[in-house]
Amino acid sequence: MTRVVRFHEYGGPEVLRIEELEVGEPAAGELRVRIEAIGLNRAEAGFRSGHYIEKAKLPARLGYEAAGVVEALGSGVSGIEVGEAVCVIPGFSMNSYGVYAERAIVPAAAVVRRPAGLTTVEAAAVWMPYLTAYGALIDAVGVGKAEVVVITAASSSVGLAAIQIANSIGAVPIAVTRTRAKRGALLAAGAAHVVVSADQDIADEVMRLTEGRGARMAFDPVGGPGVVALASALAPRGTLVLYGNLGGEADQTPFPFGLAVGRGLSLRGYLVFEVIHDPARRARAESFIREGLQTGALKPTVDRTFPLDDIVAAHRYLEGNQQLGKVVVTV
């Protein structure tokens, strides 16, 4: 038996329960991992509340990302050994697997060796943020040296990863945050400039900072009517990448037709799974991230940790938007 977090109904963090379940043995193509740390993601809060791209089959497990140690291998699994320190990456449906647990069975294809030099907690904070940011900035858009990237929700783990990746390739990251509270921290984290959206017009400020040229790319997990301001901040042939719906207004996200045709803009939807499920793209992403971690250009930012027993409090904190970086649960 092992302790597993599940929910039996949609709702707030309070619907999460820790239950004793039989973990079982891995089937072909699977392995069992003793979980040591879990990286929390807003996707899991959406899954729990019924607002994710995939509806949960209740009662449901959840959890995409973790660090742990391999305990058992299913048939056909090669290239990894029992006892190895690994990371679980978001390469599966949470209706099939979930890593909010003391032990979890996961597909071997969603497991990578743990990068050297990281603590267990840091290792649980690597792959979702950096794969997401790399996939958008490098793989999808091909941002280059000296090009400007506008990053909204910049204090999130993905936002901070995007700032670091932009700096690592010589691009110019402009962070957008709602209030001045995180401005100093974002500058310290590597943002070239910070736009405070409660006080400043995003498009006007980006145009001022770029001397009227605009940004090559805007990277946005919020959606809703605010995309018009982001499109207005783009340079000709710029790209607006939407990778989330934190504003809860997906059905009110306009296509800024006049700006798009006037400047030749692209509006692109993006999820990290398109990189993870393409072997060649995933290999390039993993190589880039490992090299960045080794050189120190990339460094996961952990805001706070919670024990597994406090999973409800951890989800409340995750959704409170107070954090700078990743929220991690230790097991």
6: confidence class by pLDDT, cuts 50, 70, 90: very high
pLDDT, residue 285, reads 98
DSSP E strands: which ranges in the chain? 2-7, 16-21, 30-39, 60-61, 65-73, 85-88, 103-107, 111-113, 148-151, 172-177, 193-196, 215-220, 234-242, 266-269, 302-307, 326-330
Residue 204 has pLDDT above 80, yes or no: yes
**Which residue intervals of the chain are DSSP H helices?**
42-49, 120-123, 127-134, 157-168, 183-188, 202-209, 227-232, 257-263, 273-276, 279-295, 311-319
Residue 251 has pLDDT above 90, yes or no: no
Peptide bond into 59 cis (omega under 30): yes
Q: Region 29-43: what's the mean pLDDT? A: 97
| pLDDT, tens digit, 9 for 90 and up, residues 62-98 | 999 999 999 999 999 999 999 999 999 999 999 999 9
176: Cβ contacts below 8 Å, ≥ 6 apart: 150, 151, 152, 153, 154, 194, 195, 197, 202
Residue 128 has pLDDT above 80, yes or no: yes
pLDDT, residue 321, reads 83
Number of neighbouring beta carbons within 10 Å of residue 291: 12
Q: Residue 120 corresponds to which tokens in the numbers above?
A: 């267990």
| pLDDT, tens digit, 9 for 90 and up, residues 214-229 | 999 999 999 888 899 9
Residue 250 has pLDDT above 80, yes or no: no
**Which residue intervals of 135-278 are DSSP H helices?**
157-168, 183-188, 202-209, 227-232, 257-263, 273-276
Q: Region 21-50: what's the mean pLDDT? A: 96
pLDDT, residue 244, reads 86
pLDDT, residue 111, reads 97
pLDDT, residue 4, reads 98
pLDDT, residue 322, reads 85
Secondary structure of residue 294 in the 3-state scheme: helix
pLDDT, residue 124, reads 98
Residues paired with 19 in a beta bridge = 4
Residue 286 has pLDDT above 80, yes or no: yes
Q: Region 91-109: what's the mean pLDDT? A: 97
Residue 254 has pLDDT above 90, yes or no: no
CA–CA separation, 319 vs 4, rounded Å?
21
Q: Region 140-158: what's the mean pLDDT? A: 97
* Complete domains list, the chain, with CATH: 2-126+300-330 (3.90.180.10), 128-273 (3.40.50.720)
Q: Region 151-163: what's the mean pLDDT? A: 96
Give the orientation angle of helix 127-134 with respect to helix 279-295, to 10 degrees.
110
pLDDT, residue 252, reads 81
Compute the C-alpha angle 295/65/114, nearest 5°: 40
213: confidence class by pLDDT, cuts 50, 70, 90: very high
pLDDT, residue 135, reads 97
144: confidence class by pLDDT, cuts 50, 70, 90: very high
As to burial, measured by CB atoms within 10 angstroms (0-12 exposed, 13-18 middle, 19+ buried), residue 46 is: buried
What is the average pLDDT score of the chain? 96
Interstrand relation of 193-196 and 111-113 (parallel, antiparallel or unpaired): unpaired
| pLDDT, tens digit, 9 for 90 and up, residues 189-202 | 999 999 999 999 99
Secondary structure of residue 22 in the 3-state scheme: coil
